[in-house]
Amino acid sequence: MVLLFVGTSYGSNIGRIWHVTDIHYEPNYTAGDYPASSCRDLDGGTPGYWGDYRCDSPWALVNSSVYAMRSIEENPDFIIWTGDDTPHVPDDNLSTDKVIDIITNVTTLLSETFPGTTVFPVFGNHDYHPKHMFPPMTNPVYSTIADLWSHWLGDYPAFNEKFRKVAYYTAQFTAGLRIVGLNTVYYYTSNKVTEDLEDPGDQFVWLESVLNQAATDGEKVGTLRILDDMMTLVDDMMSLVDDMMSLVEDMMPLVVNMMSLVVNMMSLVADMMSLVDDMMSLVDDMMLLVDNMMSLVDDMMSLVIDMMSLVVNMMSLVDDMMSLVDDMMPLVDNMMSLVDDMMSLVIDMMSLVVNMMSFVDDMMPLVDNMMSLVDDMMSLGVDKMSLVDDMMSLVGI
């Protein structure tokens, strides 16, 4: 299986990384001539030149896949290779030399197809003989493969220090990015060599130290490892594929009905598209209405601004009037004091009028007497005038 990852790999740059895994190359496979031990559930079928999903991989498929990788992305930042390179055959059909030969073939293919590209590999549980039985100590497989991969990893001190002994390593690919290649086959339930060891090869102690130092140095860490239960996963996947094929056959009548339904739905979609066109026309009309409303809103906003200006002017006038009121308050106080004085004077004058009225009342009898006296004097004057006239007549005047 090959995967291309495209994304942020380190720093702020965009990285492209190939991931190669579970090749399971079968050297004895040729078209029409394949080892039955590396295939399963053929049901009388004959695998072809490029292989069969029920069999391990022929070299034609492996070679074609790697060259297809190059045609898609020939300059990846680096390649991750997580092992499992040998076929699913009994241990009696393999040997240490055969395992090393298969890993060598894949190494050479990757090196020639991607010259200048660093590959970060780790072992899978099928990359040892007997398979799964990886020991936590130096052995011919570790030493030989370390030499084989030295052109990729020989410049990293931690690779030379650890891989030959315990088949794990770390490498700083670039500033801020560290690769940690783990040997998780130590913890595989089928590995009887390490089943009684608490920390085979002191890998956990070493990993904790590497991660702590990476945190101190501000590095991002990518870990490489093979799935511990890959064989079980493959079996389950093969069974799942068979079930899916049977399900597909059962579903064909349903598919026919669904196709008819799709045709009807396409007709419905056409009707809906027509409705959408009508709705779009309505939307255009609504947009025109919205434009008119926006114009009205603009006019109203202009009116609001004018009203706000008027309010500001009125507020200024109110401030001036308040200032005038403040200035008039002393005058008002003086006027109020004058009013108080005038009210006091009015009260005094009212009191004087009352007294005068009492005096007038007291004078009225005297006036009446004086009027009577005047009347008497007037009567006496008349009499005197008559006497004078008589005297004047007597005298002869």
Among 134, 140, 138, 178, which Cα is nearest to 156's?
178
Q: Is the dihedral of CA 204, 223, 237, 105 positive or negative?
A: negative
**What are φ and ψ of residue 195, in 5° steps?**
-65, -25
Strands 119-121 and 78-81: parallel
Q: Are 128 and 84 within 8 A, CB to CB?
A: no
Instruction: For residue 114, give Cα distances in angstroms to 108, 123, 176, 296.
Output: 10, 20, 24, 68
* Euclidean distance between CA atoms 102 and 83, whole angstroms: 11
Task: Give the integer Cα–Cα distance in Å for 176 and 219.
Answer: 4
What pLDDT band is residue 229 in, cutting at 50, 70 and 90?
very low
Q: How confident is the model at residue 8 (pLDDT cuts 50, 70, 90)?
A: very low
| Lookup result for tokens 């292989």 | 51
Strands (E), 219-356: 220-224
pLDDT at 11 over 70: no
Distance from the first to the final alpha carbon of the chain: 181
Length of the chain: 397
Token output for 118: 């660093």
The helix/strand/coil state of 149 is: coil
pLDDT of 46-93, one tens digit each? 788 888 888 899 999 999 999 999 999 999 999 999 999 999 999 999
3-state SS, residue 222:
strand
- Which pLDDT score is estimated for 215? 95
Q: Answer yes or no: are the C-beta atoms of 36 and 50 closer than 8 Å.
A: no
**Is the Cα torsion angle 122, 124, 125, 126 positive or negative in sign?**
negative
User: Which residues 6+ apart lie within 8 Å of 354 measured at CB?
Assistant: none
Please compute the mean of the pLDDT values over residues 366-388 and round it to a whole number: 86
Two tokens at 220?
Answer: 């991002």
Q: DSSP states of 122-137 as a string?
A: ---TTSSSSTT---SS
Distance CA 189, CA 134 (A): 12
The answer to whether residue 396 scores a pLDDT higher than 60 is yes
pLDDT, position 228: 43
Q: What tens digit of pLDDT does each residue of 265-318 get?
A: 898 999 999 899 999 989 899 899 988 989 888 898 988 899 898 889 989 898
Cα atoms found within 13 Å of the Cα of residue 103, Cβ hemisphere only: 28
Instruction: Write down the number of H helices and E strands in the chain.
Output: 7, 7
CA dist list (Å): 286 to 119, 289, 299? 61, 5, 20
Backbone angles phi, psi at 119, to 5 degrees: -110, 130
